[in-house]
Structure 1
Amino acid sequence: MDKVIQELKELEVGKVLEKEPLANHTTIKIGGPADILVIPKNIQAIRDTMKVIKKHNVKWTAIGRGSNLLVLDEGIRGVVIKLGTGIDHIKIDGETVRAGGGCSVVRLATGISKKGLSGLEFAAGIPGSVGGAVYMNAGAHGSDISRILVKALILFQDGTLEWLSNEEMLFSYRTSILQNKRPGICLEAVFQLEQKERDIIIEQMQKNKDYRKETQPVSNPCAGSIFRNPLPDHAGKLIEQAGLKGYQIGGAKVSEMHGNFIINAGGATAKDVLDLITFIQKTIKEKYGVDMHTEVEMIGEKR
């Protein structure tokens, strides 16, 4: 890995960190070290990083702002590319917006609302990145990314870049083609929005933010919703009915505010979270005959 690190630094791709604890880069504050963490300064730097990765046949993984993500305790082997500063641009052209994959969804939603552009009100308070939101078709309040995405620039596992249209993304509930059929990460996204009354947009966004604060443990380290809603049921409601709010294994605890959130109550490990997830799944299956599937993305090596 020394040659990989040396070449990445020589190419000046951005920050290159060795054995970096990924707990520092996830919203739940859990995660073992990355062999190498690269925070690229722009899209060209990602291309250069991928060339080095392919040259040395090194494993690679990409992350965004670390929400909806559980990095396991042994961390991640190879190179982890973190999309952030440098890939967080926003360009507005009429009702069309182009945003970098590392851009904060909250920053984007707030920025376009001030321009009187509607379509991202549902995202008010969502802590993730644009790339992550596209990857998982993030949504809330009856809407999601698939409603507004025109196309996305995707970096695939073989290092190639390709623009995929909305149709080619194969969106469904909290799912896109990037999660299974064609694994990849979103470097840029183009959205089609709609001009509306600025004050109405901002008012709706504030309502959505307030609702999130009132119903979700946003002040605690967590990874967002743990389970997909087993429609027509809701994960949080089933967990609450089962009496599991407040249930704790190690440092991982089911939020007493919302049943579909697991918080890091202090010193939690990924194993604690996994054990708690398994316990919840078993309990809900026994009580209600419902299979609970995780929404949170899990990556890395188990201890």
Structure 2
Amino acid sequence: MQKTDLALLENTDIAPYAYTQAGGRADFLAIPKSLDELQSLLDWAKAKDLPVHVFGRLSNLVVRSGGLRGLVILMTELKAVSAVGTELTAQAGCDIIWLAAIAQDKGLSGLEWAAGIPGSVGGAVFMNAGAYGGQADMVVDSVTALMPDKTLKKFDRSEIDFGYRHSVFQENGGVIVEATFALERKDKSKIQAKMDENNYARALKQPLSWPSNGSVFKRPEGHFAGKLIMDSGLQGTSVGGVMVSTKHAGFMVNVDHGTGNDYEDLIHLVQKEVFKNYQVQLEPEVRIIGDR
């Protein structure tokens, strides 16, 4: 490593960090433990003229087998949580599942939908994650991001431009560092009961025993992606080590050392077959990035 005191890993496999357990190598990978370290990493990459990719838990993401050029930053060590009244503020690397558990313990309602969602607070905000009738934009009050000009900027709810699996951070280059959630007081047992109900439904319907990214496709208007895939007879269809789940057709699972390219190729195959059968163009919910 060239002269730097930053904890950088060179030519490192991404797969062990990803929910899919697939993905090529990163030129450089780092896991900052403070905002100062994060800024130093961004400065280092800028000085080297390297592209930067910032992730949380690497869920809802397919990294192609050729990997990612430049610097990959994982925010997973930035996970502190604080509470003021009925608000919880969490750093971007905090698991959204863990934040939901903290909310329940404090008798705060609004994150029950997140009790079983893989991923981080930053990722949930970035993609406006949601499930079981809940969604990030229903409870996020503000977000603080590190902007390209090195300033920390606070975005109020109205400035975040939330939409279906969308936020302003997909365009503005800001690195989400923390989010504040506005919740409501409620009986702890009722919160837990709702979380248990959601997780039971999830375990009943979803293939949780295999690595996956959850739902692969956005819901097309007037349809359900999973039903279109199931009715096309695609459950059990495989490319390499990745298969359309036989339990939930909207999921693709890594059953045998599948690669990022396997995921992408299976996504394209499913899109082609569903369009042929129903003239519906499925749009991936997962992000597909990296070199082939």
* Structure 2 counterpart of 1:112, from 100, 103, 113: 103
* Structure 2 counterpart of 1:92, from 78, 83, 97: 83
Distance across 2 between alignment mates of 1:208 and 1:17: 38
Which residue of structure 1 aligns with residue 39 of structure 2? 47
Unaligned runs of 5+ in 2: none
2:62 maps to 1:66: no
Which residue of structure 2 aligns with residue 280 of structure 1? 270
**TM-score, scaled relative to structure 1:** 0.93
What CA deviation, in whole Å up to 9, does each residue of 1:269-300 have, x standing for no partner? 22211111111111111111111000111121
**Cα 1:31–1:158, aligned 2, differ >3 Å: closer, same or farther?**
farther
Which residue of structure 2 aligns with residue 188 of structure 1? 178
- How far the C-alpha of 1:184 sits from its partner, in A, is 3.3
Which residue of structure 2 aligns with residue 34 of structure 1? 26
Which residue of structure 2 aligns with residue 169 of structure 1? 160
Distance across 2 between alignment mates of 1:161 and 1:280: 42
**Cα 1:41–1:282, aligned 2, differ >3 Å: closer, same or farther?**
same
Give the partner amino acid of 1:39. I
Distance across 2 between alignment mates of 1:92 and 1:198: 16
Distance across 1 between alignment mates of 2:284 and 2:152: 29
**Cα 1:267–1:113, aligned 2, differ >3 Å: closer, same or farther?**
same
- How far the C-alpha of 1:48 sits from its partner, in A, is 1.4
- How far the C-alpha of 1:232 sits from its partner, in A, is 2.7
- How far the C-alpha of 1:135 sits from its partner, in A, is 0.3
**RMSD in angstroms over aligned alpha carbons?**
1.3
Identity of matched residues, %: 38
Which residue of structure 2 aligns with residue 56 of structure 1? 48
Distance across 2 between alignment mates of 1:46 and 1:33: 21
Which residue of structure 1 aligns with residue 213 of structure 2? 223
Contact 1:50–1:159 (CA under 8 A) maintained in structure 2: no
Aligned residue for 2:119, secondary structure, equals coil
Aligned residue for 2:257, secondary structure, equals coil
Distance across 1 between alignment mates of 2:254 and 2:148: 32
- How far the C-alpha of 1:42 sits from its partner, in A, is 1.2
Unaligned runs of 5+ in 1: none
* Structure 1 counterpart of 2:126, from 110, 129, 135: 135
Give the partner amino acid of 1:244. L
Contact 2:216–2:286 (CA under 8 A) maintained in structure 1: yes
Q: What does residue range 279-298 of structure 1 map to in structure 2 within 5 Å?
A: 279-298=269-288
Aligned residue for 1:40, secondary structure, equals coil
Give the partner amino acid of 1:64. G
Query: Displaced runs of 4+ in structure 1, greater than 4 A?
Result: 157-160
Which residue of structure 2 aligns with residue 270 of structure 1? 260
Distance across 2 between alignment mates of 1:231 and 1:157: 36
Distance across 2 between alignment mates of 1:189 and 1:78: 27
Which residue of structure 2 aligns with residue 23 of structure 1? 15
Aligned length: 292
Distance across 2 between alignment mates of 1:208 and 1:225: 16
- How far the C-alpha of 1:158 sits from its partner, in A, is 5.4
Distance across 1 between alignment mates of 2:110 and 2:134: 9
Which residue of structure 1 aligns with residue 201 of structure 2? 211
**TM-score, scaled relative to structure 2:** 0.96
What CA deviation, in whole Å up to 9, does each residue of 1:37-59 have, x standing for no partner? 01001112101111212222211
Range 119-128 or range 265-274, more displaced:
265-274
What CA deviation, in whole Å up to 9, does each residue of 1:97-142 have, x standing for no partner? 1001000011000111011000000111101000000000000111
- How far the C-alpha of 1:267 sits from its partner, in A, is 1.9
2:106 maps to 1:75: no
Range 22-31 or range 147-156, more displaced:
147-156
